[in-house]
Amino acid sequence: MSGFSLELLGQDGAARTGVIHTPRGDIRTPAFMPVGTAATVKAMLPESVRETGADILLGNTYHLMLRPGAERIARLGGLHKFMNWQRPILTDSGGFQVMSLADLRKITEEGVKFQSHIDGHEEFLSPERAMEIQRLLGSDIQMVLDECPALPASREVIEKSLALSMRWAKRSKIAFGEQPGRACFGIVQGGVLADLRQRSAEALREIGFDGYAVGGLAVGEGQPAMFETLEATVPHLPTDRPRYLMGVGKPDDIVGAVERGIDMFDCVLPTRSGRNGQAFTWDGPLNLKNARHAEDSGPLDAACRCPACQNYSRAYLHHTVKAGEIISAMLLTWHNLAFYQDLMAGLRTAIAAGALARFANGFRARYGESGPSPA
């Protein structure tokens, strides 16, 4: 773990703020990681992603292994050079996308066989191959391969899946081996069953990881169940390692998870919403397609320093969304990533000041606790 460490700088209730030190740069926590699926954060140049305040990106092993291929990226000098992002990159294991995107999956003890959703060719992902791919990419934080059953599922199904995931976690850790300055994270599974989450956390601690992720949430269980599961899980994770809630989420999901001790997040929501004409603001999400913006000469958010807010009116954003212009995806993605990073900065400052409850309650009062539908 040389060169990779978590330094805690402040605590407020269960929430923490700090810095993850890595050879490629520091990651301020709580951190939001924009998703760069296919070696690009969609509709953004990496220098613009950095300008929003991002310290780290997420790359998707599943997409990159299929196209352009991990060995090719390695021959071209690794993912950082390939995509022009020199700061830390976390890669997932590919397991989640195999379950959600690939065709004709077949899971065995050894791993998972599937067909590419791009061209149908057959691929095989095992814990060992997942770690090999992430090593070839040059990933700074590598995730173990796990299996994530679709919810709702019976206790029996979840328990069986969890056992497999824990055996795969062990194999992943062994395959990761020693990579100075790089980290290997385990993933807690167990559905929304508190005792299974505890069992999973303890099994992973037994193996020993550089960080601990919470997987299998934000898959339809609802925010209350997600928060309850976090409350049942986080106390069983070590305090001196980063905690990462995978694939989460809406701004109010993030605020609640930070209050429950989570340090890292990733989600496609800000980027995907930006391509769909939706913008996040402190007063809740907005749909720029709505005709009420057509003659609005005001900015999206007067307090935001992103180019969309500094240089354009809501009327312009409405026009370019309606016309299907690429600039609308560029500007709204930039704004949404800036909003997420501003939210994380606000959370960090609030935790350091011991004022998280006030910040979080103020956020919810203005934004809307349950994340209103775009209007």
Q: Which residues bind its own copies (CB under 8 A)?
A: 38-40, 42-45, 67-68, 72, 75-77, 82-84, 275, 294-295, 297, 307, 311-313, 315-316, 318-320, 322-323, 325-327, 329-331
Q: Quick one: 14 or 74, whose CB is closer to its own copies?
A: 74
| 243 phi and psi angles, rounded to 5 deg | -120, 130
What are the φ/ψ torsions at residue 227 (nearest 5 degrees)? -65, -40
Minimum distance of its own copies from residue 82's CB (angstroms): 6
């990462």: which residue's tokens?
A: 244
- What's the closest the beta carbon of residue 314 comes to its own copies, in angstroms? 10
What letter represents residue 356's amino acid? L
* 12 in catalytic set: no
Report the nearest approach of its own copies to the CB of residue 283 (Å).
Answer: 22
| Closest separation in Å from C-beta 296 to its own copies | 9
What letter does residue 291 receive in the DSSP assignment? G
Minimum distance between the CB of residue 325 and its own copies, rounded to whole angstroms?
5
Instruction: Give Cα 266 to chain centroid, integer Å.
Output: 1
The contacts of residue 123 (CB under 8 Å, 6+ apart) are 65, 66, 102, 113, 114, 115, 116
**Which residue is associated with the tokens 């701004």?**
251
CB neighbour list of residue 155: distance below 8 Å, 6 or more residues apart = 193, 196
Considering the complex, state which of residue 11 and residue 313 has its C-beta at the smaller distance from its own copies: 313
Minimum CB separation of residue 27 from its own copies in Å reads 22
DSSP assignment string, 16-50: EEEEEE-TT--EEESEEE-B-TTSS-TT--HHHHH
Shortest Cβ 45–its own copies spacing (Å)? 7
Contact call for residues 127 and 175 (beta carbons, < 8 A): yes
Q: Which of 12, 252, 253, 266 is catalytic?
A: 266
**Cα of 15 vs its chain's centroid, Å:** 18
Q: Are 350 and 358 in contact (CB under 8 A)?
A: yes
- Residue (165 or 320) nearer to its own copies, CB: 320
Angle at 94 between CA 88 and CA 97, to 5 degrees: 120
Nearest to 364 by CA among 282, 286, 249, 303: 282
Q: Which is nearer to its own copies, 43 or 264 (CB)?
A: 43
Closest CB to its own copies among 268 and 345?
268
Residue among 54 and 188 whose Cβ is closer to its own copies: 54
266 is catalytic: yes
Please identify which of the residues 92, 146, 301, 342 carries the catalytic annotation. Answer: 92
CB 20 within 8 A of CB 4: yes
Query: Which one, 179 or 328, has the nearer CB to its own copies?
Result: 328
Distance CA 202, CA 140 (A): 24
Residue matched to tokens 């460490």 = 5
Q: Which residues are catalytic?
A: 92, 266
